[in-house]
Structure 1
Amino acid sequence: MRRVRRTWSIRARTAVTFALAAMALATGVVVFSNVMSLAGVGAGLDTTSARTARPVQGFATASPAPPEPGGTGGRDPSAVTVIQLVAVQQWQWSAVGIAGAGVLAGGVGWLVSQWMLRPIDRITATANRITASNLHERIGLGGPDDELRRLSRTVDGLLDRLETAFESQRRFVAQASHELRTPLAVQRAAVQIGLHDDADRDDVRATREQLLEQNRRTEHLVESLLVLAEADRGLAGATSAVRIDEVTDEVVAGAAPDATDAGVTLTHERRTGPPGLVVDGEPTLLRQLLVNLVGNAVEYNEPGGFVRVTTTSDGFVVENAGPPVPQDEAPRLVEPFRRCPSSPSAERHSGLGLSIVASIVQAHGWRMTIDARPTGGLAVRVDVSSV
């Protein structure tokens, strides 16, 4: 079994650091003071002894006897004893003072760290308390605009993003479940009703066509969900230089047969000089973005209408004719499974085309706007100059 290494808390480490620092400083001051004071007292005694032993002028005096080994060097023995006693007492009380200073400093460090770390305890308690059911709670730390309050704002911002992502995911899962349930129910009904015991060849053929159509819609829906999930995960450094004009030409050429069948004129206009608009993007997602925009513009159109793709120096615009769209409804078409109610072909689609476009644009850090044209249809602008 792996042993868990126990470490001291920040409060304990702060208290010990305060105590050791105070004791080290106090020891230095006490040692310096004691050494200098004892040296000064010794020098004073030597001066006093020399003055006492100086001969009086006019009288003969005997030469002073040399100091005996182990003696006091001419000093007063009682004074030397007092100095030694004072020195011992001074060092003893200094040790007591140093220990007391360490204990006092440790206590002050503990209280100061407890006061300073109280907001962190609040942040930790709030973060531990927040779950999926109460993502709306925030720390909301008050006080001065210091490092701890900035940390609190950072955590609150993270919680805001998590709540938005969680709500979006929960809504998306609910909507996806609803959308997948519909084709499955249709397929089951087709099997139960169309393939009854007395079904003839025409019934089998009709049921097969219906099942294939529902299977195609389900397959397209699953593929769209996978692309949307991939775009939401981010690019993770998988970008390269992509020429928008070249990708647009390929997408327009690929959508030309569908546009011809629908009676729609599909054109591509360039308003950029050579070598054209070059962006740093993920090639597959960028192509999917244009495929969805052009495909939607062709599908949500009308006979005799048009689809115009224009590339400029700062992005591209996809415009199409079609049924009128309410101006307040156009920006909400990027929501998953949101369809334009005025389009007769809305029920044939999953409602994920523009959601995928919005996710790809967001993953690249670009900006997209959707406007309803006064004469009908939409104008979708993707600005890549905001990178």
Structure 2
Amino acid sequence: MRTLTIRVRTALAFAVASMVLTTAVLVFVNLASQQSFARTLPVLGRDGGPATRIPSAVPITPERIGASQTTLRVVTEANALQWQWSAVGIVVAGMLAGGVGWFVSRRMLRPIDRITATATRITASNLHERIALVGPDDELRRLSRTVDDLLDRLETAFESQRRFVAQASHELRTPLAVQRAAVQIGLHDDVGGDDVRAVRDELLEQNRRTEHLVESLLVLAEADRGLDGTTQVVHVDDVTAEVVVGAARNAADAGVALTHEARTGPPGLVVDAEPTLLRQLLGNLVGNAVEYNEPGGFVRVTTSSDGIVVENSGPAVPVDEAPRLVEPFRRCPSARSAGRHSGLGLSIVASVVQAHGWSLSVDARAAGGLVVRVGVSPVQPRRDAGRNS
């Protein structure tokens, strides 16, 4: 069943309301006029006595009217015409009110038509267009601003997705090209055993890098998808200690001093989080701090009631470049191992932080390296809640 448009419904509402009000007014006027006329019309007495006034409750009959038949016909005809013209007036008033309602609704809904046309016209290729409605600051203009704000967020998301797809394609194509070149050049017809082993090692390294990149993309997609009620009470101090212990060997091999300091009183830093994503966040922060460091450097991990701080030495990072390192595949040009990582470490950290509603800041140290702060929302653990499994 087809629903009437707002414009038609507004016109009908105007018409019906006008007809109802006009009918009520005219019926009241006609009945009041008849009653007033009945009170002032002289009539003969019952026995031919002097003329009197008809009480309002007594009906007017020809026998009681002290006037000629002509006067009676005039009064009756006037009464009938009064009702007929009242009916015509009601219909005309309804039509005029319907027309006014149509005109007013058309003027009032014109911005809605513009908003609809613009929203229908906008696609992924012209997300830069905006409604930009002008006029008084009313409900329709506020609706227009809300839609424009939504389009701003969509444009930002689409641009980020385009950059991500382009960068991911480039990152995935690079190891594949290296593998193809290694096979074509390294495995020539008279290849020896040493060449085969070198090609094997190169293929394994590129395969490892591709696998790590794909895993990072999956984690990033999982973090962007949201938590969906998968959170639980997690003791951050315990998870941080486990991550630091797991990264101790790599830190020792790189000549980097890795330490963890818990500045929280009992029961420690406890948050409501998704355990796997939290462990991935800490692992990426510690792993990046160890990897992008220098021999003899340090990585200091601190947990406090405010959150987590990972500070590391390393190459100098431009102050304006540090906050942009959370973008996918963004690497610091001065990092010596920029080619070994996927460039998604801090991007995953940012997505995990956003999914949990926490805060993240990445700042450059004056002496080189970074300071990454993750502000969390501590919770009070339940008495029956155990430690992290």
TM-score (norm 1): 0.90
Post-superposition Cα deviations, 1:210-234, rounded to whole Å, max 9, x if no partner, equal 1111000001111111211222233
Post-superposition Cα deviations, 1:113-158, rounded to whole Å, max 9, x if no partner, equal 0000011111111111212222111111121211101100110000
Say whether 1:204 aligns with 2:200.
no
Paired AA for residue 262 in structure 2: R
- Which stretches in structure 1 are left out of the alignment for 5+ residues? 57-69
- C-alpha distance in 2, partners of 1:228/1:36? 81
Aligned ranges 1:17-36 → 2 under 5 Å: 17-36=13-32
1:245 maps to 237
Paired AA for residue 249 in structure 2: P
Per the TM alignment, residue 280 of structure 1 is displaced from its structure 2 partner at its CA by 2.6
Q: Secondary structure at the match of 2:178?
A: helix
- C-alpha distance in 2, partners of 1:98/1:326? 80
8 Å contact kept, 1:365–1:386: no
Indicate which of 253, 261, 266 corresponds to 1:269.
Answer: 261
Paired AA for residue 191 in structure 2: A
Instruction: Supply the RMSD in Å over aligned alpha carbons.
Output: 2.1
Paired AA for residue 337 in structure 2: S
8 Å contact kept, 1:266–1:306: yes
2:219 maps to 227
Say whether 1:72 aligns with 2:47.
no
Q: Secondary structure at the match of 1:134?
A: coil
Instruction: Quickly say closer, same or farther: Cα 1:83–1:230, change in 2 above 3 A.
Output: same
Say whether 1:184 aligns with 2:176.
yes
Aligned ranges 1:275-290 → 2 under 5 Å: 275-290=267-282
- C-alpha distance in 1, partners of 2:127/2:378? 31
Indicate which of 39, 42, 47 corresponds to 1:43.
Answer: 39
- Aligned-pair identity in percent equals 73
8 Å contact kept, 1:367–1:386: no
- C-alpha distance in 2, partners of 1:91/1:282? 79
Q: Secondary structure at the match of 2:339?
A: helix
Instruction: Quickly say closer, same or farther: Cα 1:39–1:191, change in 2 above 3 A.
Output: same
Range moving further from structure 2, 264-273 or 101-110? 264-273
Paired AA for residue 329 in structure 1: E
Indicate which of 329, 337, 342 corresponds to 1:337.
Answer: 329
- C-alpha distance in 1, partners of 2:46/2:269? 102
Indicate which of 4, 11, 14 corresponds to 2:10.
Answer: 14
2:152 maps to 160
8 Å contact kept, 1:18–1:105: yes
Give runs of ≥4 in structure 1 deviating > 3 Å: 47-56, 76-80
Per the TM alignment, residue 52 of structure 1 is displaced from its structure 2 partner at its CA by 11
Say whether 1:101 aligns with 2:97.
no
- C-alpha distance in 1, partners of 2:331/2:264? 33
- C-alpha distance in 2, partners of 1:140/1:73? 77
Say whether 1:302 aligns with 2:294.
yes
- C-alpha distance in 2, partners of 1:85/1:240? 88
2:351 maps to 359
Aligned ranges 1:375-386 → 2 under 5 Å: 375-385=367-377
- C-alpha distance in 1, partners of 2:98/2:300? 76
Say whether 1:194 aligns with 2:186.
yes
Q: Secondary structure at the match of 2:199?
A: helix
Q: How many residues are aligned here?
A: 369
TM-score (norm 2): 0.89
Range moving further from structure 2, 347-356 or 161-170? 347-356
Q: Secondary structure at the match of 1:348?
A: coil
- Which stretches in structure 2 are left out of the alignment for 5+ residues? 52-59, 380-389
Q: Secondary structure at the match of 1:328?
A: coil
